Amino acid sequence: MTAIGTDTTVAVVGTGTMGQGIAQVALVAGHPVRLYDSAPGRAAQAAEAVVRRLDRLVEKGRIPAVERDAARARLSPAETLAELADAALVVEAILEQLPAKQELFRALEDVVPADCLLATNTSSLAVTAVAGGLRHPGRCVGMHFFNPAPLLPLVEIVSGFATDDAAATWGKTPVRCADTPGFIVNRIARPFYAEALRVHEERGADPATIDAVLREGSGFRMGPFELTDLIGQDVNEAVTHSVWTAFFQDPKFTPSLAQRRLVESGLHGRKSGRGWFDYAEGARRPEPHTAGPCPAPSSVTVLGELPGPAAVLREAIEEAGIKVTGDRTAREPESAGAVRLPGGALLALTSGAPATRRGRGATISFDLSLDYRAATRVALAPSATASEGDLAEAVGLFQALGKQVSVIDDVPGMIVARTVAMIIDFAVDAAARGVATPQDIDTAMRLGVNYPGGPMEWVDRLGAPWAWRLLDSLHRQNALGRYVPSWALRRRADLEEWVL
**Main-chain phi, psi angles of 305, to 5 degrees:** -90, 125
CB 486 within 8 A of CB 369: no
Which letter, b or e, does each residue of 130-147 get, where b requires 16 or more Cβ atoms within 10 Å of its Cβ? bbbbbeebbbbbbbbbbb
Which letter, b or e, does each residue of 387-409 get, where b requires 16 or more Cβ atoms within 10 Å of its Cβ? eeebbbbbbbbbbbbebbbbbbe
Q: Which of 14, 16, 56 lies closest to 28 in space, CA to CA? A: 56
Q: How far apart are CA 176 and CA 220, in angstroms?
A: 24
Q: What share of the chain is helix, strand, coil (3-state, %, to 5)?
A: 45, 15, 40
CB 89 within 8 A of CB 55: no
Q: How far apart are CA 209 and CA 215, in angstroms?
A: 10
Element (H, E) at 120: strand 117-120
Whether a cis peptide bond, with omega within 30° of 0, leads into 354 is no
* Residues acting as catalytic residues: 123, 144, 156, 186
DSSP readout, 353-392?
S-GGGT-SS-EEEE---S-TTT-SEEEEEE-TT--HHHHH
**Main-chain phi, psi angles of 180, to 5 degrees:** -120, 160
